[in-house]
Amino acid sequence: MADITDPFVRFMDVQKSYDGETLVVKNLQLDIAKGEFLTLLGPSGSGKTTCLMMLAGFESPTHGEIILDGVPISNVPPHKRGIGMVFQNYALFPHMSVAENVGYPLKVRGMGRDEMHRRVRRVLDMVELGHLGGRRPAQLSGGQQQRVALARALVFEPALVLLDEPLGALDKNLREQMQYELKHIHETLGVTMVYVTHDQTEALTMSDRIAVFDDGIIQQLAAPSTLYEEPGNSFVAQFIGENNRLLGTVEAVDGQECRVRADSGDVIHALDVRTTGVGGRTELSLRPERVSINPGAGTTPNILPAEVLEVIYVGDHIRSRMKVCGHDDFIVKVPNWAGHVHLRQGEQVEIGWFASDCRALDA
Amino acid sequence: MATAESAAPPDDGILRTNDGVPLKTTLRRVNRRQKMVALGLVLPLFLFILVTFLAPIGMMLFRAVDNPVIQEQIPRTVALLNETWDGESVPDDAVFDVLAEEMIQQYKVREIAKVGTRLNYEQGGLRSLITKTARNIAHRAEPPWKDAFIAIDERWGQPETWGIIQNAAPRYTLSFFLAALDLRYDWQGNIVEQPEYEQIYVKMFVRTMWISGLVTVLCVALGFPVAYLLATLPMRQSNILMILVLLPFWTSLLVRTTSWIVLLQTEGVLNDIMVWIGILSDEGRVQMIYNQLGTIIAMTHILLPFMVLPIYSVMKTISPSHMRAARSLGATPPRAFWDVYVPQTLPGIGAGSILVFILSVGYYITPALVGGRTGQLISNFIAYHMQKSLNWGLAAALGALLLLGVLVLYWLYNRLIGVDKMKFG
């Protein structure tokens, strides 16, 4: 966050409670740069939507202040904030045509008819719906409705656009297509977008930065690649991408590396990211695609015996569930290329990985 | 794959199943059972509606034009009158002879009063003329009948009387409908207005429509906020409110109406309170019941749930995110409410309005109890003619006009808003 010198949006010590007993958002500090695509990612009930609603003005912070473009906005009502918003179920007005829906923000701003028509047309063309302006929202497909909602949130040229799980109701193919379109629109217009989702793929493909929420706290705020490759704690490791967990106790720390005695008794060399020192419990995080099978002695610092419990053909890779260190939910992904290892169920193999791929996190 | 050589169906462009039966025939056969089941399920209700609803309405419409009395009681007189009378002078002796014969005959079987009653609808005083004449010629008077009749009452010597008999004679007549519209046939068969002092029904129709419209508007004004609260309050509070809305449904209509009497009468609670506070003097108590005001207040109260429930059920389906969306797009809260929320409640307002309006147009008990003289509606007059005056033809004609009015309204509603947009719940 230190890299943002002039934040466009700044959450300062924001806390939110609905009932006075529990905090939904705990002491939030978050800076968003101008033109950034920031995703709030987290399971439901993690406080991410509440943050978005506070930014939009539909909820007010119990404590703290939100600053938009240098101005504290706690006392500014939603309709004066000038923030575009796309809602979860689009919230298109069913009694208005598509063009009327998109023109609505211009109408309430008292814009003249000609100018209004021109801008509605332009933004509808941008989302490739220029020919459907006369239809009612109910006559459109889910994807088209989604674009109308987006067009409506962009037409009055807000500097900040909030998107609340906008793709949740679409089927998988459409969702992927819309992800790219959204990304392109973001790049073309250069607006700041804050995107809320619980879908990590969506977050990874679209965002400049992702704030992973859990329990009202930002667990980690980083670029997608950093989040995936270097998760800061076990929640992030578990939540982003597929992850193997091995539990153990730290036996020795040597600079960046540490030696961990797994509960099964095996010794594992790992990267010390967040352990509590020698004698502390730790959770090791290891991505399934970073494991090699029958690596050969000496090639990797960690070599452990494993039993193949299940082999699943997925297409681009072969997925295998193995029993390792007493855990029978250890997943290994073998890329499907010409020379790949053919695993058989019940087979005993050896698996290995580098210490740098295995991150020792908090237990 | 089977080759189709052996049993190749004729290539006539008709789609067939594998055994050569046209596809449509097979489909019909398959669907027939489902259709029979559906019919069987609907049939009892359909028969019930036919017997208890459609048939009575048909009979009522028929009775509004049905006019058998004159034809049955004095058929030959009517026939002769139609044949020989020039419509201007006093009829021939022959007409009097036949009439006397038929009158005596009907007098003996005590049926002649029916003729009098029927003719009396057309012009007051004719009932007594008929009964007086019949009694007279049956007991005392002698032929020649023409002179005898005119001697009994000089009206028999006036063509007007005969014109009225002739106009009242046809088997089917519009005269009940004319009466319901404050019109009548004069003795020459022209349609003219009723005399001023007998014109009441058009005024009644207008009053009924006006009061119904006012009650509908009041119900929208009072029901909309309640429905809004019902739809937006948290579950617990809205359930309590819902019970309060439904409570009137669980109380007898009579109880509710009489409680308004207790509240509003001149010696009632409301007047007492106002006198006690000092707004009114004891002599200046306001008459709030047994007049139009009483009818309007009590009907609005009783019909309110019929407005609240459809509006509520529509509001319940409006996503709260619509209002939020409108506000995020720059609309002030009142503007968002007016632009986005209210239009979406229109189907509910429409349904509630048409329900309340139709119910109040035909409302009977409440106006009868609290309406006094100025608060009576058209249905009170229909009941009067059904029960007191026994002029069922007129009652039926009034009812038919009411039905027509409602249908026209429904048609208009359908043209303007669309019945398919209406939501009752």
Residue A172 belongs to domain with CATH number: 3.40.50.300
Of B321, B327, B344, Cβ closest to residue A78: B327
Query: Torsions phi, psi of A160, nearest 5?
Result: -135, 130
Predicted pLDDT at B424: 61
Of B328, B339, B340, Cβ closest to residue A85: B328
Q: Give the distance from residue A149's alpha carbon to the nearest chain B alpha carbon, in angstroms.
A: 10
Of B319, B325, B336, Cβ closest to residue A85: B325
Report the percent of chain A where pLDDT is more than 90. Answer: 55
Q: A130 lies in a domain?
A: yes
Asked if B327 and A95 come within 8 Å (Cβ–Cβ), the reply is no
Q: Which of B324, B328, B341 to mutate to test the interface with A (most CBs of A within 10 A)?
A: B328
How high does pLDDT run on average in chain B? 89
Q: What 3-state class would DSSP assign to B66?
A: strand
Asked if A153 and B340 come within 8 Å (Cβ–Cβ), the reply is no
Q: Which residue of A has its CA nearest to B332?
A: A79
Predicted pLDDT at A196: 94
Of A82, A91, A109, Cβ closest to residue B325: A91
Tens-digit pLDDT profile for residues A193-218: 999 999 888 899 999 999 999 988 99
Asked if A93 and B336 come within 8 Å (Cβ–Cβ), the reply is no
C-beta separation of A308 from A314 below 8 A: no
Which amino acid makes up residue A106? L
Same domain, A44 and A182: yes
Asked if B332 and A79 come within 8 Å (Cβ–Cβ), the reply is yes
Same domain, A121 and A145: yes
Chain A residues lying within 8 Å of B339, measured CB to CB: 104, 108
Chain A residues lying within 8 Å of B332, measured CB to CB: 79, 108
Chain B residues lying within 8 Å of A87, measured CB to CB: 321, 324-325
| Bridge partners, A252 (sequence order) | A259
- The C-alpha atoms of residue A269 and residue A303 are separated, in whole angstroms, by 10
Q: At what angle do helices B342-361 and B201-232 cross, to 10 degrees?
A: 140
Asked if B328 and A56 come within 8 Å (Cβ–Cβ), the reply is yes
Of A79, A92, A152, Cβ closest to residue B327: A79
Predicted pLDDT at A163: 95
Chain B residues lying within 8 Å of A100, measured CB to CB: none
Chain B residues lying within 8 Å of A82, measured CB to CB: 330
**Quick one: which of A238, A239, A234, A259 has its CA closest to A249?**
A259
Of A85, A94, A105, Cβ closest to residue B344: A94
- The C-alpha atoms of residue A228 and residue B424 are separated, in whole angstroms, by 53
Q: Give the distance from residue B327's alpha carbon to the nearest chain A alpha carbon, in angstroms.
A: 5
Among the candidates A192, A215, A234, a domain finishes at: A234
- For residues A288-305, give the mean pLDDT: 87
| Inter-CA distances, A362 with A131, B90, B216, Å | 55, 121, 68
Q: Give the distance from residue B342's alpha carbon to the nearest chain A alpha carbon, in angstroms.
A: 10
Q: Which residue of A has its CA nearest to B329?
A: A105
Predicted pLDDT at A256: 87
Our count of domains for chain A comes to: 2
A336: CATH: 2.40.50.140
Tens-digit pLDDT profile for residues A64-103: 999 999 999 988 999 999 999 999 889 999 999 999 999 9
CATH code of the domain made up of B201-421: 1.10.3720.10
Predicted pLDDT at B13: 75
Q: Give the distance from residue A152's alpha carbon to the nearest chain B alpha carbon, in angstroms.
A: 8
So where are chain B's domains? 69-170, 201-421
Same domain, A208 and A247: no
Give A236: exposed, middle or buried? Use CB within 10 Å, 0-12, 13-18, 19+.
buried
Q: Give the distance from residue A56's alpha carbon to the nearest chain B alpha carbon, in angstroms.
A: 7
Predicted pLDDT at B16: 82
- The C-alpha atoms of residue B23 and residue B7 are separated, in whole angstroms, by 16
Size of interface A-B (CB pairs under 8 A): 70
Q: Which of A104, A152, A161 to mutate to test the interface with B (most CBs of B within 10 A)?
A: A104
Same domain, A95 and A66: yes
- The C-alpha atoms of residue B406 and residue A180 are separated, in whole angstroms, by 57
Chain B residues lying within 8 Å of A81, measured CB to CB: 328
Of B324, B330, B335, Cβ closest to residue A91: B324
Q: Which residue of B has its CA nearest to A80?
A: B330
Range of the domain at A317: 242-362
Asked if A91 and B321 come within 8 Å (Cβ–Cβ), the reply is yes
- The C-alpha atoms of residue A217 and residue A214 are separated, in whole angstroms, by 6
Q: Which residue ranges of chain B lie beneath pLDDT 50?
A: 1-6
Predicted pLDDT at B327: 94
- The C-alpha atoms of residue B292 and residue B370 are separated, in whole angstroms, by 8
Same domain, A246 and A229: no
Same domain, A223 and A254: no
Q: A3 lies in a domain?
A: no
Predicted pLDDT at B88: 85
Question: Three-state SS string across chain A, please?
Answer: CCCCCCCCEEEEEEEECCCCCCCCEEEEEEEECCCCEEEEECCCCCCHHHHHHHHHCCCCCCEEEEEECCEECCCCCHHHCCEEEECCCCCCCCCCCHHHHHHHHHHHCCCCHHHHHHHHHHHHHHCCCHHHCCCCHHHCCHHHHHHHHHHHHHCCCCCEEEEECCCCCCCHHHHHHHHHHHHHHHHHHCCEEEEEECCHHHHHHHCCEEEEEECCEEEEEECHHHHHHCCCCHHHHHHCCCCEEEEEEEEEEECCEEEEEECCCCEEEEEECCCCCCCCEEEEEECHHHCEECCCCCCCCEEEEEEEEEEEECCCEEEEEEEECCEEEEEEEEECCCCCCCCCCCCEEEEEECHHHEEEEEC
- How many CB atoms neighbour CB B268 within 10 A? 16
Same domain, A210 and A97: yes
Predicted pLDDT at B2: 46
Chain B residues lying within 8 Å of A92, measured CB to CB: 325
Among the candidates A234, A257, A280, a domain finishes at: A234
Q: Which residue of B has its CA nearest to A158?
A: B329
* Chain A residues bordering chain B (beta-carbon distance below 8 Å): 56-58, 77-85, 87-89, 91-95, 104-105, 108-109, 152-153, 156, 162
Same domain, A142 and A253: no
Q: At what angle do helices B112-122 and B126-139 cross, to 10 degrees?
A: 150
Q: Give the distance from residue B423's alpha carbon to the nearest chain A alpha carbon, in angstroms.
A: 15
Tens-digit pLDDT profile for residues B280-289: 888 888 888 8
Asked if A78 and B324 come within 8 Å (Cβ–Cβ), the reply is yes
Among the candidates A202, A218, A234, a domain finishes at: A234
ipTM: 0.82
Which amino acid makes up residue B217? V
Same domain, A91 and A165: yes
Q: Give the distance from residue B329's alpha carbon to the nearest chain A alpha carbon, in angstroms.
A: 5
Chain B residues lying within 8 Å of A83, measured CB to CB: 328
Predicted pLDDT at B187: 85
Maximal C-alpha separation, chain A: 77
- For residues A325-344, give the mean pLDDT: 87
Same domain, A324 and A257: yes
Q: A4 lies in a domain?
A: no
Predicted pLDDT at B9: 57
Q: Which residue of B has its CA nearest to A56?
A: B328
Predicted pLDDT at A3: 56
Residue labelled with tokens 């739809």: B231
Maximal C-alpha separation, chain B: 107
Q: A2 lies in a domain?
A: no
Asked if B340 and A84 come within 8 Å (Cβ–Cβ), the reply is no
Asked if B331 and A104 come within 8 Å (Cβ–Cβ), the reply is yes
Tens-digit pLDDT profile for residues A152-197: 999 999 999 999 999 888 888 888 888 998 999 999 999 999 999 9
- For residues A137-146, give the mean pLDDT: 91
How high does pLDDT run on average in chain A? 90
Predicted pLDDT at B4: 45
* Chain B residues bordering chain A (beta-carbon distance below 8 Å): 319, 321-322, 324-333, 335-336, 339-340, 343-344, 346
- How many CB atoms neighbour CB A240 within 10 A? 22
